[in-house]
Amino acid sequence: MPDNRYRENPIKAPRGKLLNTKSWQTEAALRLLMNNLDDEVAEDAKRLIVYGGIGRAARNWDCYDKIIEVLKRLEDDETLLIQSGKPVGVFKTHSQAPRVLIANSNLVPAFATWDDFHELDKKGLMMYGQMTAGSWIYIGSQGIIQGTYETFMQALKKHYKGDGQNKWILTAGLGGMGGAQPLAAKMAGVSLLAVEYDPKRIQRRLENGYLDIACQTIDEALQHVNMAHQRGETISIGLLGNAALVYPALVAKGIKPDLVTDQTSAHDPLNGYYPPEWSIEECQRKRISEPQTVIHAAKQAMAKQVEAMLAFTKLGIPTFDYGNNIRQMAFDMGVKEAFTFPGFVPAYIRPLFCQGRGPFRWVALSGDPADIAKTDEKVKALLKDDLDLCHWLTMAKQIPFQGLPARICWVGLGQRAKLGLAFNEMVANGELSAPIAIGRDHLDGGSVASPRRETESMLDGSDAISDWPILNALLNCASGASWVSFHHGGGVGMGYSQHAGMVIVADGTPQAKEKISRVLHNDPATGVMRHADAGFPEAVECAKRFHLDLPMLRK
């Protein structure tokens, strides 16, 4: 790795009303890039790593410094181009065009492998952007927490009539994404035992309030689960151990969780998954000196974990892949039944995508938590008939902010534009102390092609077609998003996904109102379009209800 990828340089995004740039459109990009690298937010800010293995916000510190420098001078009719975390050009465009366009980790198909990526990465020619790391809209574990909550709730409804009492989930991974699981489970009314090999990650989740207790042994952890259930309570436990050893041990003991999944960074066998035969320090050294040895050992370990997950499946325990491609890794190592259990999207989430419903997030650029409290109340007032959403927002008050105050909730077509316009009006009339940046995860109905995750088991077999996220990105550019990104490999690793992101800034101006009305309608509408085109009846009905102009669906 280039030496300029490490720096002792604590970063905090600016707060308040004072601009460091020439407009709030570019100020938002500057603050959210910096927020991605806040120690409260990023997994390893000193190395520019935000989450998800090696998901970075900028290619190296020289590139980061230059991006900040350019954002400070960028005019309102100019657009900055970012190529895999490196600022490569500033071009004259117009005031309604995006201020930043980002392309991360994209490789032509025949070269879209981890081996090719790592070779380019070593030369300093690329970086891995994950989803929201390189697109500057990651907000810590809270950013995924409602999606995790929705998944657990849908699983409980499907398998246990929505009743989580005296039930527990077995999972692994407490990183940037997996770290949301313990709190989301408790919000869903179910206990959770998360296996994690890195004690620092367990400690971090304890400190930020996402995890109740830590345990050193399986027996100790199970005892705490049983004791909590005897008291009529739920509990979240971080078990220090390796999932490749713990999952088979639980099978051997005859232990039966009520749900089984995994959210380690299995998508990246070199940097994201620790083989049990080495300590963390040994593995980190070998990643540099013997990368192929580490990859092979990690995939062998994943195969053992998936074999245990298959054993749980055969016992009738609902088991699902939580979008990290662990089934594919095990399949590559000879576990031919790896795809017996489903991914979480076809199992639980797809009906939401068909309604244009997905992860809508917003950030208070002021840094004032009171602005988020006010927007929470506005959402409740505008969407008061959505009882599940209002219940979520009430619970969400217990979620600790990481970095700039932010909120996440899943809302659908029609709702997103309504909320965005309301936020813009609140900025305009002074209810909020500064503008709001509105974005989403790349995990959404129309913004991703990922045959092992979001687009698994499409009705028409179109799982691998990636025209759709490209169209989503292009439409968001044409609609006037503040910045737009297009990435490869997020979530499931190189060769397995392409996906797009956008951010729109509500700065209280009439121009922002115009852009918000387009962007926050068109963006979720592409999700309805994509699923309607694939033949999902719920999406066809939604398209008709919102009068979407989909020529091939007209009769």
Q: Is 102 within the bounds of a domain? A: yes
Domain identity same for 224 and 297: yes
Starting at the edge strand found earlier in the chain, the sheet holding 259-260 runs 213-215, 236-240, 191-196, 168-172, 259-260
- What value does the mean pLDDT of the chain take? 97
Do the annotations mark residue 491 as ligand-binding?
yes
Domain identity same for 328 and 392: no
Domain identity same for 214 and 330: yes
CATH number at residue 356: 3.40.1770.10
Do the annotations mark residue 177 as ligand-binding?
yes
Residue 445 CB neighbours (<10 A)? 31
Domain identity same for 389 and 275: no
Q: Percentage of residues in the chain with pLDDT exceeding 90?
A: 95
In angstroms, rounded to a whole number, what is the distance separating the alpha carbons of residues 214 and 98?
A: 45
- Report helix angle 218-230 to 243-253, nearest 10: 60
Last residue in a domain, options 332, 348, 364: 348
Segment 178-226, tens digit of pLDDT: 999 999 999 999 999 999 999 999 999 999 889 999 999 999 999 999 9
Helices and strands of the chain, counted as H and E runs: 19, 16
Q: Is 528 within the bounds of a domain? A: yes
Q: Does the structure show a pLDDT above 60 at 336?
A: yes
Q: Kindly state the tokens that stand for 129.
A: 């952007």
Q: Is 9 within the bounds of a domain? A: no
Q: Does the structure show a pLDDT above 70 at 2?
A: no
Q: Is 13 within the bounds of a domain? A: no
Provide mean pLDDT across the span 335-359: 97
Q: Return the pLDDT at 143.
A: 84
Domain identity same for 366 and 256: no
Q: Kindly state the tokens that stand for 476.
A: 């968001």
Provide mean pLDDT across the span 125-154: 94
Do the annotations mark residue 267 as ligand-binding?
yes
Contacts of 254 (CB under 8 A, 6+ apart): none
Do the annotations mark residue 265 as ligand-binding?
yes
Closest listed residue to residue 84, CA positions, set 137, 30, 25, 133: 133
Domain identity same for 99 and 234: no
Domain identity same for 131 and 184: no
Classify strands 259-260 and 168-172 as parallel, antiparallel or unpaired. parallel
In angstroms, rounded to a whole number, what is the distance separating the alpha carbons of residues 92 and 97?
A: 10
Q: Is 550 within the bounds of a domain? A: no
Domain identity same for 300 and 257: yes
Q: Is 14 within the bounds of a domain? A: no
Q: Does the structure show a pLDDT above 50 at 39?
A: yes
Domain identity same for 355 and 226: no
Last residue in a domain, options 316, 332, 348: 348
Q: Kindly state the tokens that stand for 281.
A: 């320090």
Q: Which residue has the higher pLDDT, 89 or 176?
A: 89
Domain identity same for 107 and 77: yes
Do the annotations mark residue 1 as ligand-binding?
no
In angstroms, rounded to a whole number, what is the distance separating the alpha carbons of residues 150 and 411?
A: 12
Give the domain extent around 92. 22-139+349-545
Assign 3 a pLDDT band (cuts: 50, 70, 90). Answer: low
Contact between 263 and 177 (Cβ < 8 Å): yes
Q: Does the structure show a pLDDT above 70 at 137?
A: yes
Provide mean pLDDT across the span 412-439: 99
Q: Does the structure show a pLDDT above 90 at 9?
A: no
CATH number at residue 298: 3.40.50.10730
Do the annotations mark residue 201 as ligand-binding?
yes
Do the annotations mark residue 176 as ligand-binding?
yes
Closest listed residue to residue 277, CA positions, set 258, 293, 263: 293
* Number of domains making up the chain: 2
Alpha helices in 60-102 (DSSP H): 61-73
Contacts of 539 (CB under 8 A, 6+ apart): 353, 354, 355, 528, 529, 530, 531, 532
Do the annotations mark residue 178 as ligand-binding?
yes
Q: Return the pLDDT at 554.
A: 67
Domain identity same for 290 and 185: yes
In angstroms, rounded to a whole number, what is the distance separating the alpha carbons of residues 313 and 250?
A: 13
Contact between 321 and 491 (Cβ < 8 Å): no
Residue 303 parent element (H or E): helix 291-314
Q: Is 4 within the bounds of a domain? A: no
Segment 505-527, tens digit of pLDDT: 999 999 999 999 999 999 999 99
Q: Which residues are catalytic?
A: 409
Q: What's the Rg (C-alpha) of the chain?
A: 22
Closest listed residue to residue 484, CA positions, set 2, 29, 17, 22: 29
Count of all residues that appear for the chain in the document: 555
Contacts of 224 (CB under 8 A, 6+ apart): 213, 215, 235, 237
Segment 281-298, tens digit of pLDDT: 999 999 999 999 999 999
Assign 1 a pLDDT band (cuts: 50, 70, 90). Answer: very low
Closest listed residue to residue 491, CA positions, set 448, 526, 523: 448
Q: Is 171 within the bounds of a domain? A: yes
Domain identity same for 355 and 296: no
Contacts of 163 (CB under 8 A, 6+ apart): 156
Q: Kindly state the tokens that stand for 291.
A: 């990368």
DSSP strand E in 84-154: where? 86-92, 100-104
Q: Percentage of residues in the chain with pLDDT exceeding 70?
A: 99
Backbone dihedral region of 513: left (phi > 0), alpha (psi from -120 to 50 degrees) or beta? alpha
Last residue in a domain, options 319, 348, 377: 348
Provide mean pLDDT across the span 422-430: 99
Provide mean pLDDT across the span 445-452: 97
Do the annotations mark residue 214 as ligand-binding?
no
